[in-house]
């Protein structure tokens, strides 16, 4: 709100309007603390919180989990002009079959997932096999915030500010052998903490795979957070993959192992129904799922029951970045 003075024709804002209400309230508290002598520590923590807020840029943090800010990414295609999905939708409408098959199950059940200590093992056709503690994996490269669309094979999509770094950074560190052509991503399968591991829906652990050039593509994100915070358990804490031009199921959650191989790995959904879920699973409005069309999608959060669906874009809108990876391939055959 602007205050107009009566004498001159100029306007000025209240201090509480120049600064956001939240920051303003924080400063007021700080002034109070100064008076009590504990301001030093408070100032340090306030300053670091402000620094986080600045790095995270425009994306407001929900403030429920530990902060994990990332600098805005320079990777082409990482920023979309789409409106962000609300955090509450992105963290309550999930697929994570280890915690149940209903979209609401993961948010309800995934609190049992034990995310610390956590290690990710690198094995197979690499010069430097390794076991990374999560803390070391986090430090391997600078965290970036990347806004990506995630399009689920079931026909819905979200737009999420993910935090992580290109998987290629890790791949380069472990030095793949020239015989390594594929990567197999193995995810956590612990029946003690994941109530649906053992159910017959899938052959556990949930495994996914990428061709080496797909894994090396800068858009492929090793992901530790979203909305400026560490990942909620239901979104695949503490570390997952996000491959934005492929159907969501290619983005394995709660990764524990990455194996470099010379053959395409047997993936969970391909093993469950090979005629429905191919190895590539690139988002493609022209190739239908055998049981439904893939031409349109519903954006979670902006849909009343009667809202118009959106047209699904080739490679989920990332064709300029990834199209050349599939030049000359028959995408109907290699779906
Ligand atoms: N990873 C594991 N381990 N288990 C799963 O069931 N579901 C996949 C993928 N990764 C899944 C998984 C599917 S089908 C989708 S659409 C995305 O995760 C959903 O990610 P989100 O819940 O963060 O939106």
**Strand positions, DSSP E, 214-276:** 221-226, 229-230, 240-242, 255-261
Q: Using most ligand atoms within 8 A of CB, pick from 89, 208, 250, 253 the residue to mutate for ligand 1.
A: 253
* 5: its two tokens: 């003075």
The reply to whether omega before 274 is within 30° of 0 (cis) is no
Q: Which residues contact 250 (CB under 8 A, 6 or more apart)?
A: 208, 210, 241, 243, 281
Which of 297, 315, 261, 8 has its CA nearest to residue 157?
297
Residue of 85, 95, 227 best suited for mutating to test ligand 1, as the one with most atoms within 8 Å of CB: 95
Least confident of 10-19, 42-51, 58-67, 262-271: 10-19
Domain range 68-326, CATH class? alpha beta
Distance (angstroms) between ligand 1 centre and the Cα of 94 equals 7
Atom index in ligand 1 nearest the CA of residue 254 equals 3
Q: Domain limits of the chain?
A: 16-64, 68-326
- Phi, psi for 285 (deg, rounded to 5): -65, -15
Q: Determine contact, residues 239/222, Cβ cutoff 8 Å.
A: yes
- The protein residue whose alpha carbon is closest to atom 6 in ligand 1 is 96
Ligand 1 atom closest to Cα of residue 158: 24
Q: Measured between alpha carbons, how far is residue 165 from residues 98, 127, 142, 242, 244 in Å?
A: 25, 22, 7, 10, 14
pLDDT band at 58 (very low <50, low <70, confident <90, very high): low
Report the separation in Å between the CA atom of 6 and the middle of ligand 1, taken as the mean of its atom positions: 60
Radius of gyration of the chain from its Cα atoms, rounded to whole angstroms: 22
What is the position in ligand 1's atom list of the atom closest to the CA of 206? Answer: 3
Q: How far is the CA of 251 from the centre of ligand 1 (A)?
A: 6
Residue 48 has pLDDT above 60, yes or no: no
Q: What is the model's pLDDT at position 231?
A: 98
User: Quick check: 281 and 275 in contact, CB under 8 A?
Assistant: no
Output the ligand 1 site: residues, CB below 6 A.
94-98, 150, 152, 158, 187, 206, 235-236, 248-249, 251-254
- 182-239 pLDDT per residue, tens: 999 999 999 999 999 989 999 999 999 999 999 999 999 999 999 999 999 999 999 9
Query: What is the percentage of the chain residues whose pLDDT exceeds 90?
Result: 79
Residue-wise pLDDT tens digits, 81-139: 899 999 999 999 999 999 999 999 999 999 999 999 999 999 999 999 999 999 999 99
pLDDT at 315: 98
251-262 residue pLDDT tens: 999 999 999 999
Q: How far apart are CA 146 and CA 49, in angstroms?
A: 21
């Amino acid at each position: 709100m602007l205050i107009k003075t009566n004498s001159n024709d100029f306007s000025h804002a209240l201090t509480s309007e120049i600064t956001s209400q939240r920051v303003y309230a924080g400063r007021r508290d700080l002034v109070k603390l100064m008076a009590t002598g504990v301001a030093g520590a408070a100032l340090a923590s306030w300053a670091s919180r402000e620094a986080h807020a600045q790095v995270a840029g425009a994306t407001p943090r929900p403030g429920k989990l530990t902060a994990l800010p990332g600098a805005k990414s320079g990777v082409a295609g990482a920023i979309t002009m789409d409106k962000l999905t609300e955090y509450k939708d992105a963290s309550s409408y999930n697929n994570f079959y280890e915690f149940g098959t209903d979209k609401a199950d993961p948010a309800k059940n995934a609190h049992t997932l034990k995310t610390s200590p956590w290690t990710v093992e690198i094995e197979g056709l690499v010069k430097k096999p390794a076991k990374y503690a999560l803390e070391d994996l986090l430090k391997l490269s600078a965290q970036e915030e990347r806004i990506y669309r995630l399009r689920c094979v079931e026909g819905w999509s979200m737009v999420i500010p993910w935090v992580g770094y290109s998987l290629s950074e890790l791949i380069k560190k472990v030095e793949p052998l020239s015989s390594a052509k594929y990567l197999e991503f193995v995810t956590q399968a612990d029946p003690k903490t994941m109530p649906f591991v053992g159910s017959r829906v899938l052959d556990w652990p949930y495994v996914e795979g990428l061709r080496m050039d797909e894994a090396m593509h800068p858009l492929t994100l090793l992901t530790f957070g979203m909305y400026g915070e560490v990942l909620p358990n239901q979104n695949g804490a503490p570390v997952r993959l996000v491959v934005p031009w492929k159907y969501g199921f290619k983005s394995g959650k709660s990764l524990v192992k990455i194996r470099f191989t010379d053959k395409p790995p047997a993936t969970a959904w391909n093993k469950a129904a090979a005629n429905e879920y191919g190895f590539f699973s690139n988002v493609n409005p022209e190739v239908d799922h055998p049981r439904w069309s893939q031409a349109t999608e519903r954006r979670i959060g902006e849909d009343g029951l009667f809202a118009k669906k959106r047209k699904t874009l080739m490679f989920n809108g990332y064709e300029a970045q990834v199209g050349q990876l599939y030049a000359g391939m028959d995408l109907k055959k290699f779906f």
